């Protein structure tokens, strides 16, 4: 075993590496088989020995967003995820984890549905789910590829920031709800009060907070970001299969109406909670390198 092992897939090559703001690095390999091999525990350990002692690594996952999952679905039951895989025609352990946008304990009383991130271990499984949907507790759920969103600094609330709160040079916090100079968690604004957004001009800022997914500045920055990333123009995760090269904009108008409803629905849900499992993917990432 190890990087020079005989079980290495033929032609395994590192195409390149990308360093991220928070110090992590994404390595791109020439094939799914090569990335899966590097992601196996012993090979990964051998690779990480070339980095700082605190470095950790993980394989890439393929993120999708599923809408209107019944809140009765229990993320903590592995057999339930296995049932989702089986009923969706997926191979076992192809779902690495499901995260509800809104933790169960924060869901409104009587809430029947929630949206979720579903991470897949390989692009093929993600594409099957996008194409056919999945079944949760017997209900069919639509699955879409998750598109990149502009990063927001939780201290200065700047959208499209190249820093996070821990690196923010602003001398004070900006409240995500009322624009005052305090932490959002210290805000005494109550439900139903007019929210304000520090990223929008004053006349536009009424009625929504910084985290609102319908914020005009958010939508503008998101569109700019997605224009720069070629993968966002595809409906699926592109593979060797030409059927996965379908243009995301080639959908009919009824589908676009469904998208509009989807965005309104997505606005009503909040943060994420995780129920997880391990698996292999095409790319992987090592963190903690100096
Ligand atoms: Zn900042
Ligand atoms: Zn406030
Ligand atoms: Zn705004």
Ligand 2 mean position, distance from CA 108 (Å): 23
Q: CATH no. for residue 109?
A: 3.30.70.330
- Residues in a beta bridge with 113: 70
Q: Are residues 20 and 91 in the same domain?
A: no
Per-residue pLDDT of the chain (290 residues; tens, 9 = 90+): 445 567 888 888 888 888 876 677 888 888 777 877 887 778 888 888 888 877 887 777 899 999 899 988 988 888 899 999 999 999 998 998 898 887 777 777 888 898 899 999 888 999 999 999 999 998 999 999 998 888 899 999 999 888 889 889 999 999 998 889 999 889 888 666 788 899 997 766 678 888 887 889 999 998 888 888 877 888 898 888 888 887 776 543 334 334 433 433 333 333 334 444 444 333 333 333 33
Q: Are residues 79 and 201 in the same domain?
A: no
Alpha carbon distance 150, 218 (integer Å): 7
Asked if the structure places residue 31 within a domain, the reply is yes
Ligand 1 mean position, distance from CA 229 (Å): 24
In this structure, which ligand is nearest to the CA of 183? 2
Alpha carbon distance 130, 82 (integer Å): 18
Asked if the structure places residue 190 within a domain, the reply is yes
Q: What residues make up the domain containing 135?
A: 62-147+250-276
Q: Are residues 73 and 129 in the same domain?
A: yes
Residues around ion ligand 1, judged by CB within 5 A, are 153, 155-156, 168
Ligand 2 mean position, distance from CA 185 (Å): 8
Q: Are residues 201 and 160 in the same domain?
A: yes
Alpha carbon distance 218, 204 (integer Å): 13
Backbone angles phi, psi at 156, to 5 degrees: -95, -10
Alpha carbon distance 201, 68 (integer Å): 33
Asked if the structure places residue 20 within a domain, the reply is yes
Q: Are residues 78 and 208 in the same domain?
A: no
pTM of the full predicted structure? 0.64
Count of the separate structural domains present in the chain: 3
Q: Are residues 256 and 270 in the same domain?
A: yes
Alpha carbon distance 201, 184 (integer Å): 20
Helix ranges (H only) for 229-273 are 253-267
Asked if the structure places residue 1 within a domain, the reply is no
In this structure, which ligand is nearest to the CA of 176? 2
Asked if the structure places residue 27 within a domain, the reply is yes
Q: Are residues 158 and 19 in the same domain?
A: no
Ligand 3 mean position, distance from CA 246 (Å): 32
Q: Are residues 125 and 259 in the same domain?
A: yes
**How far, in Å, are 99, 153, 180, 215, 227 from residue 220 at the CA level?**
27, 17, 24, 9, 11
Residues in the chain: 290
Asked if the structure places residue 182 within a domain, the reply is yes
Q: Are residues 192 and 259 in the same domain?
A: no
Helix ranges (H only) for 92-184 are 123-132
């Amino acid at each position: 075993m190890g990087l020079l092992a005989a079980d290495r897939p033929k032609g395994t090559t590192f195409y390149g590496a990308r360093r991220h703001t928070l110090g992590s690095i994404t390595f791109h390999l020439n094939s799914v088989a090569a990335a899966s091999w590097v992601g196996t525990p012993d090979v990964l350990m051998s690779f990480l020995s070339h980095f700082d002692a605190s470095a950790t690594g993980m394989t890439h996952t393929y993120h999708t967003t599923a809408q209107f999952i019944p809140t009765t679905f229990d993320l903590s039951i592995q057999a339930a995820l296995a049932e989702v895989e089986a009923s969706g025609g997926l191979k076992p352990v192809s779902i690495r984890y499901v995260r509800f946008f809104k933790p169960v304990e924060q869901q409104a009383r009587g809430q029947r549905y929630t949206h979720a991130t579903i991470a897949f271990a390989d692009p093929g499984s993600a594409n099957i789910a996008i194409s056919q949907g999945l079944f949760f507790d017997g209900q069919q759920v639509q699955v879409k590829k998750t598109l990149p969103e502009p990063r927001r600094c939780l201290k200065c609330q700047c959208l499209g920031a190249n820093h996070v709160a821990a690196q923010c040079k602003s001398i004070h916090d900006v409240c995500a709800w009322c624009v005052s100079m305090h932490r959002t968690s210290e805000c005494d604004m109550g439900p139903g009060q007019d929210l304000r957004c520090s990223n929008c001009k004053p006349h536009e800022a009424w009625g929504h907070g910084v985290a609102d997914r319908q914020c005009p500045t958010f939508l503008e920055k998101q569109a700019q970001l997605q224009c720069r990333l070629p993968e966002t123009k595809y409906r699926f995760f592109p593979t060797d299969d030409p059927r996965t090269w379908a243009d995301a904009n080639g959908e009919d108008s009824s589908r676009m109406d469904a998208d509009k409803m989807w965005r309104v629905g997505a606005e009503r849900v909040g943060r994420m909670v995780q129920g997880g499992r391990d698996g292999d993917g095409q790319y992987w990432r090592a963190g903690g390198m100096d």
